[in-house]
Chain A
């Protein structure tokens, strides 16, 4: 799709673009310069004010450049609100948590809606897409009520889904490390992937044995981190086993062994998760991370977007994979996902922006200072530590720090953003 746009952009030699009068072109430049300056002005203002002293700020009405750059403002606001690192962390947890869940849920559904034949497929797709019509605010009061007392069956369902999401995340990280290590090894070397996995398992296992094992042995109710690390270690061992098996040429025995190994470990891990995790999640999800993240787990727009993208993929590749005996999960992860990388990147950026900035839902369900996300933290800072806009220099420093990650992400990935908008928009 991206290439399609590029092609038509190149072809677009004539078109409307034949305004040749110098005066007209100068006017257009003027409009552009004025409007981009106006748009950029609040950012410039924010940045320069964040580097002024309180006195200079009060005196200056139009001064743009501070006489002395007060970098200390950034230290000062950090000291004024010791919870700021926590706000950043909470926002990051929320944004990445929602992102991972939405990616998994939407891609699985979109794959099924595009490539798998099952009865009622089209009807179910329209049922899923119809959710786009529902404004999210209508769900807030009921969701709040549901969150305040989550029934057990829901908690079990979500524990399993979270378990799958967690394992998928580790799996993707491992694949990513694979590409790095095979790159380091230079050419194709057998057993490299096994070697570094053995090192990893020994390392993680050692930490686990020192930190988590005593806690697990000591009492009935081991701390959550000990149990989580046990689960992670179990998944690493499982992955090591599969990787070892893949070093041998394919045969019936290898296939049977892999299947047995896979089902034994995965079912074991999931059973343990279904048994333990609902208790950690607790009954009241207000003021918790799971409450922040899980109600946003599905994005019907994401399902729609991925289905549109998947439909544009060449069918022959998938058929070839099917003839080779690949199952659906394998086709999704090893053929469809790599082919739709631009779409993935776009979705990732858009989702991170949206949930890093989210304010309404966190405002409703979080209460304690340690659970505040960045947007709420900023607003509270404005009121409590900025005294409703008396200490503007500190407020602007905090603001700049909060905005910086997204703006940097945007200017680095500018091309992706705009191409992504183009590809998603054309289909819309």
Chain B
């Protein structure tokens, strides 16, 4: 960069330093430091996100259009054949129904029981922290370990559940097994009850956190207006708790759609296909029968369903969630 005129260079020397000095200042400037540090600091995160999240997602879509068994050198491109096959299978309808059943029932009852317990615990009850710790504790146990204990609770011949029921003359039920006298009817409720047991405390603790944010002035004002406990619950507590309810609803939907551990340990999708959910269906196809393409197609459909459900939930939320 040559100076445009001799005069300007002469006079500019005091306030307009030379190129190398300016370069040095630029090198030492906060701005450059910020830009470099910013990108350096997010680089590890974006490397991981790219390699283990976004690329796999795109790759899944590609794999779902192929037929492959992890071994053969070539992935055979089959277009949307996997999807057509999936949607024409009767078993896929069953899988969809199982997933919905499991997810909706678990979510509703887990949230409801969490809400009721949180409301009770918020009445300044003595020993709150003990109750809270006890009810939350299933959440910190590994699902597999807990499921093994529940496997025994549900056991047909030795399980405590049947032992208790037999006191009332109820015949022994094979809750989750596929053996003699197995009723496919009971397997899913058994799994759902286990999952409610596992997640109830988590919802309760979140609801309790939500309750602390409700300003007490509102209740005071309502009391002056002569509102009873039920009115306060209906018109203050529940509306002001709705952001937390919404948050828990979204979380619960995602986690129940992704549930795998308890199904694998307790029922392996059985008896028959009574507890085969989408994630388990993907596992069986992808990793037990090595149908990579079909398994990927199931995973993609799972993703799309979850995406649609979440968007719908956010849309509906405008109607019932009140942000203070």
Contact = CB atoms under 8 A, between A and B. Distances in A.
B189 interface: no
A117 B34 contact: yes
A109 B143 contact: no
Contacts of B173: none
Contact of A35 (B135, B139, B140): B135
A35 B213 contact: no
B155 A298 contact: no
Given A17-B123, A42-B153, A46-B149, A139 B57 contact: yes
Contacts of A39: 134-135, 137-138, 197, 200-201
A146 B134 contact: no
B137 to A, nearest CB: 6
Contacts of B49: 128, 131, 298, 300
A99 interface: no
A260 interface: no
A426 B141 contact: no
Contacts, number: 310
B37 A119 contact: no
B182 interface: no
Contact of B142 (A121, A328, A375, A389): A375
B242 interface: no
Contacts of B214: 12, 15
A138 interface: yes
Chain B interface, >50% SS class: helix
A104 interface: yes
A128 B137 contact: no
A19 interface: yes
Contacts of B151: 389
Of residues A16, A118, A154, A402, which shows the largest number of chain B Cβ atoms within 10 Å of its Cβ? Answer: A16
A12 B208 CA distance: 12
Nearest to A356: B142
Of residues A12, A142, A422, which shows the largest number of chain B Cβ atoms within 10 Å of its Cβ? Answer: A142
Interface stretch (B81-89, B97-105, B294-302): B294-302
Nearest to A7: B212
A396 B149 contact: yes
A152 B283 CA distance: 29
Nearest to B257: A135
A382 B150 CA distance: 13
Contact of B307 (A16, A36, A133): A133
B57 A374 contact: no
A266 B244 CA distance: 46
Given A16-B237, A32-B117, A134-B53, A109 B258 contact: no
B284 interface: no
B261 A141 contact: no
A425 B39 contact: no
B63 to A, nearest CB: 6
B95 to A, nearest CB: 14
Contacts of B307: 133
A17 B123 CA distance: 4
A109 B45 contact: yes
B183 interface: no
Contacts of B310: 133
Contacts of A131: 49, 53-54
Interface stretch (B4-12, B13-21, B216-224): B216-224
Interface residues of A, number: 108
Interface string A336-359: 000000000000000001001101
A360 B260 contact: yes
A215 interface: no
A31 B123 CA distance: 13
A109 B39 CA distance: 9
Contacts of A375: 142-145, 261
A407 B141 contact: yes
B299 A141 contact: yes
Interface string A279-304: 00000000000000011111010010
B254 interface: yes
Interface stretch (A74-82, A185-193, A409-417): A409-417
Of residues B30, B49, B138, B202, which shows the largest number of chain A Cβ atoms within 10 Å of its Cβ? Answer: B49
Interface string B100-131: 00000000000001001101111111000111
B209 A146 contact: no
A272 interface: no
Of residues B138, B152, B296, which shows the largest number of chain A Cβ atoms within 10 Å of its Cβ? Answer: B152
A13 interface: yes
B140 A406 contact: yes
Interface string B189-211: 00000000100111001101111
A235 interface: no
Contacts of A426: 209-210, 213
B321 interface: no
Contacts of A117: 31, 34-35, 38
Contacts of A67: none
B317 interface: no
Contacts of A217: none
Contacts of A13: 216
A15 B205 CA distance: 18
B93 interface: no
Interface of B: 30-31, 33-35, 37-39, 41-42, 44-49, 51-57, 59-60, 63, 70, 113, 116-117, 119-125, 129-146, 148-153, 155, 158, 160, 163-164, 197, 200-202, 205-206, 208-216, 219-220, 223, 229, 232-233, 237, 244, 247, 254, 257-258, 260-261, 264-265, 279, 282-283, 286-287, 292, 295-296, 299-300, 302-303, 306-307, 310
10 contacts: A45-B153, A135-B257, A136-B258, A137-B260, A139-B52, A297-B48, A353-B140, A374-B142, A378-B145, A402-B145
